[in-house]
């Protein structure tokens, strides 16, 4: 695991990211990617004990996602001549040749993939597993199936850099990683626009269908008209790789001051502020002034207690029925301290702050709306 948040990210963008990225990265010891916690015997034990509803395919793991690679990461990967990157470079060139999802801003999931992902990753109404980590249709194009490794890992984008199946800081860690992913999304969009504009010498305009707009058969098949493609690429039609390499060069030469100006646009400052706040909350959790039992996620009685689905379905928590019954007594009208005192007085049970804080960290107890 990386020592700092900066170390999590591709080298081409580390130097100019804000000081926040010097903070320590949470060591997610429970997300054992090389010996997947959701696969094989480990996954089977989790399902058998009913601690989770899902098990991942060992040849797929969580790599049922198509990365949205910004132009400078595509270029950085293409210029990396290391033998370990040969497969990744070959796959990128195949993507460029196919044109689907390829634009001056980067290489995105083709429309057909997005439609399938949105459909296949929805859990059934009974909560049974979805196609995530299972569907052949959703396997990442950059995944080496023989050993389930990533051929582009040194150039991973925001989702791959911040996704874990289980977090050490549980719900707080999940919120912190989500906030970091959102900020990195802003970084990728703004920096890729800057790079493209710098290379072309003018603003780059990319037209995309509105969300949920009907797609033509040609779009679903991954086909693009020569006219539309040429309109986006201009003089770089047929020179896409050269363009991406130039974008990597522009971004590699960025200074901190210039990057700060680019990233300070729009919602950037607010997204950064939220990432900072949630990172602090995850690494130094404090008991909330008011807490109630979480009711928006299923709670199921199992052999050894109550299984509660909290921040996501891959990491439920099982607590004793006695503790769960006490947590049900918390009222939103009282402070956390008042609730604890009332339970002591009425039920004769002392609930240590450390236990209540643990339930808050797990996402079993949440601040009331």
Distances (CA, A) of 128 to 21, 114, 132, 290: 38, 22, 11, 33
Domain count, the chain: 2
- Per the structure block, which two tokens stand in for 143? 């995944």
Please report the pLDDT score of residue 110 as a whole number: 92
Distances (CA, A) of 161 to 111, 155, 368: 23, 9, 31
Q: Which domain holds residue 162?
A: 6-283
CB 289 within 8 A of CB 330: no
Asked if 333 and 277 sit in the same domain, the reply is: no
C-alpha closest to that of 284 among 274, 293, 292, 276: 276
13 domain-assigned: yes
What is residue 333's three-state secondary structure?
coil
174 domain-assigned: yes
Residue whose structure tokens are 């909350």: 281
160 domain-assigned: yes
Tens digit of each residue's pLDDT (9 = 90 or more) over 81-117: 999 999 999 999 999 999 999 999 999 999 889 989 9
Q: Taking the model in full, what pTM does it have?
A: 0.91
- Per the structure block, which two tokens stand in for 25? 């990265």
Query: Along the 369 residues of the chain, how does pLDDT read in single tens digits?
Result: 578 999 999 999 999 999 999 999 988 999 988 888 888 766 656 555 555 557 888 899 999 999 999 999 999 999 999 999 999 999 999 999 999 999 999 999 998 899 899 888 886 544 555 788 889 999 999 999 999 999 999 999 999 999 999 999 999 999 999 999 999 999 999 999 999 999 999 888 776 655 566 667 776 666 778 998 999 999 999 999 999 999 999 999 999 999 999 999 999 999 999 999 999 999 999 999 999 999 988 888 888 899 988 888 888 889 999 999 999 999 999 999 999 999 999 999 999 999 999 999 999 999 998
Asked if 198 and 87 sit in the same domain, the reply is: yes
Among 283, 306, 332, give the residue marking a domain's end: 283
Residue whose structure tokens are 């695991």: 1
- Return the DSSP state at 267: T
1 domain-assigned: no
Asked if 201 and 318 sit in the same domain, the reply is: no
154 domain-assigned: yes
Asked if 133 and 109 sit in the same domain, the reply is: yes
Asked if 157 and 303 sit in the same domain, the reply is: no
Among 257, 283, 309, give the residue marking a domain's end: 283
Tens digit of each residue's pLDDT (9 = 90 or more) over 285-315: 999 999 999 998 888 888 889 998 888 888 8
């Amino acid at each position: 695991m990386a020592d700092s948040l900066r170390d999590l990210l591709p080298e081409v963008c580390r130097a100019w990211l804000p000081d926040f990225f010097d903070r320590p990265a949470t060591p997610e010891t429970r997300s054992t990617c090389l010996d997947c916690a959701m696969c094989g015997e480990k996954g089977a034990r989790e399902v058998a004990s009913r601690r989770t509803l899902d098990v991942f395919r060992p040849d797929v793991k969580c790599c049922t996602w198509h990365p949205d690679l910004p132009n400078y990461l595509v270029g950085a990967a293409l210029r990396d001549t290391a033998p370990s990157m040969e497969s990744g470079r070959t796959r990128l060139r195949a993507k460029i040749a196919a044109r689907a999802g390829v634009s001056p801003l980067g290489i995105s999931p083709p429309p057909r993939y997005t439609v399938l992902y949105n459909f296949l990753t929805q859990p059934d109404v009974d909560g049974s597993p979805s196609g995530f980590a299972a569907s052949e249709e959703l396997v990442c194009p950059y995944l080496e199936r023989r050993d389930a490794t990533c051929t582009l890992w040194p150039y991973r984008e925001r989702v791959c850099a911040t996704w874990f199946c289980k977090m050490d800081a549980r719900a707080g860690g999940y919120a912190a990683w989500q906030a970091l992913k959102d900020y990195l999304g802003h970084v990728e969009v703004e920096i890729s626009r800057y790079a493209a504009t710098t290379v072309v010498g003018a603003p780059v305009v990319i037209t995309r269908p509105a969300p949920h707009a009907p797609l033509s058969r040609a779009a679903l098949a991954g086909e693009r008209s020569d006219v539309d493609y040429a309109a986006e690429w201009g003089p770089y039609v047929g020179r896409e790789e050269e363009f991406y390499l130039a974008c990597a060069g522009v971004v590699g030469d960025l200074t901190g001051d210039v990057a700060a100006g680019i990233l300070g646009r729009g919602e950037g400052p607010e997204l950064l502020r939220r990432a900072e706040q949630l990172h602090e909350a995850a690494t130094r959790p404090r008991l909330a002034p008011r807490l109630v039992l979480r009711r928006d996620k299923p709670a199921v009685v199992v052999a050894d207690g109550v299984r509660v689905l909290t921040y996501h379905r891959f990491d439920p928590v099982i607590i004793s029925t006695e503790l769960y019954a006490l947590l049900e007594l918390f009222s939103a009208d009282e402070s956390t301290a008042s609730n604890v005192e009332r339970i002591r007085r009425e039920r004769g049970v002392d609930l240590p702050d450390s236990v209540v804080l643990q339930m808050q960290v797990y996402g079993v107890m949440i601040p009331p709306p």
